[in-house]
């Protein structure tokens, strides 16, 4: 699968460097370049883009402001000479954050993460997948995960920790990307940082879900929805 990319940067040298990096990676295709956010907004209205390389410090409208203005932004890799914006960028669910001057090996790591997310989004969702499993990249290799062995997933900065019986996998996937792919009939988001497997729940005590030895918080805003979906009509009542 080819990922269509857009470069947004006010510096010609930076755009050219990113273009050269994109041309070195087989699964990337440069669909265009824009020197500011205004031109980028127009470009996105007419062209389908999967991934944008977005400079933060641009005149008039910063990359952060531009990203916040997009209703359904493509996958985004931020690029900047200033590392101070990293936390704000990750809060916007960006794929990665590259500090200029960007080394090719660091660029390759970022776009490989984007490729994994792109492939996951392109697959049939969660438990509806007849294969009953999915692959994630972890520790430099692809690992198979059975849907019915995933206990819960935990957001960790811009990564995800998959909790499985007897092991954990730290993946390059973002929490939001994983949430979109897990079947809503089998998994439920119970907190901004946790998705749990409904069949694996052992107990609910107050605002805490217990799965095996783990205690997972339920956010106040999701409590009623979680209770209804998990317990629902399965609660036995006295006649």
| Chain centroid to CA 136 | 12
Among the ranges 47-61, 85-99, 114-128, which has the highest mean pLDDT value? 47-61
Per-residue pLDDT for 124 more than 60? no
CATH superfamily for domain 128-234: LytTr DNA-binding domain (2.40.50.1020)
Per-residue pLDDT for 195 more than 90? yes
Q: How confident is the model at residue 223 (pLDDT cuts 50, 70, 90)?
A: confident
The pLDDT of 116-133, averaged and rounded, is 64
Supply the mean pLDDT for the chain: 87
Higher-pLDDT residue of 138, 61 = 61
Spans of all domains in the chain: 3-122, 128-234
The pLDDT of 38-52, averaged and rounded, is 96
Per-residue pLDDT for 183 more than 70? yes
Higher-pLDDT residue of 81, 56 = 56
Q: For residue 61, what are the contacts with CB-CB under 8 A and spacing of at least 6?
A: 36, 37, 38
* 187: its two tokens: 């998994």
Residue 158 near residue 96, CB atoms below 8 Å: yes
Q: What is the pLDDT of residue 88?
A: 67
Q: Domain 3-122: which CATH class?
A: alpha beta
pTM over 0.75: no
Higher-pLDDT residue of 30, 174 = 30
The pLDDT of 22-51, averaged and rounded, is 96
The pLDDT of 196-206, averaged and rounded, is 91
Q: What percent of the chain has pLDDT over 70?
A: 90
Give the CA angle between residues 84, 87, 88 to the nearest 5°: 90
> pLDDT tens, 133-181?
888 888 777 788 888 899 999 998 778 999 999 999 998 788 888 888 8
* 192: its two tokens: 């901004």
Q: Is the peptide bond before 101 cis (omega within 30 degrees of 0)?
A: yes
Residue 61 near residue 37, CB atoms below 8 Å: yes
């Amino acid at each position: 699968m080819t990922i269509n990319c857009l470069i947004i940067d006010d510096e010609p040298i930076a755009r050219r460097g990113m273009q050269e990096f994109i041309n070195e990676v087989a699964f990337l295709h440069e669909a265009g370049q824009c020197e500011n956010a205004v031109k980028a907004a127009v470009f996105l209205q007419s062209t389908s883009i999967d991934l944008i390389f977005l400079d933060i410090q641009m005149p008039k409208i910063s990359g952060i402001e531009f990203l916040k203005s997009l209703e359904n932004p493509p996958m985004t890799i931020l690029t900047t000479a200033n590392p101070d914006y990293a936390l704000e960028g990750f809060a916007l669910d960006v794929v990665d954050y590259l500090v200029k001057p960007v080394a090719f090996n660091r660029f390759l790591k970022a776009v490989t993460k984007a490729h994994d997310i792109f492939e996951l989004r392109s697959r049939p969702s969660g438990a509806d997948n007849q294969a009953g499993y999915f692959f994630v990249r972890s520790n430099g290799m692809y690992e198979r995960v059975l849907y019915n062995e995933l206990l819960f997933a935990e957001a960790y900065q811009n990564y995800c920790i998959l909790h499985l019986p007897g092991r954990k996998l730290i993946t390059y996937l973002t929490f939001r990307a994983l949430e979109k792919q897990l079947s809503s009939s089998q998994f439920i988001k119970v907190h901004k940082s946790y998705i749990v497997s409904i069949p694996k729940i052992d107990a609910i005590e107050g605002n805490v879900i217990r799965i095996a030895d783990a205690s997972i918080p339920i956010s106040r805003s999701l409590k009623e929805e979680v209770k209804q979906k998990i317990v629902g009509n399965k609660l036995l009542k006295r006649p």
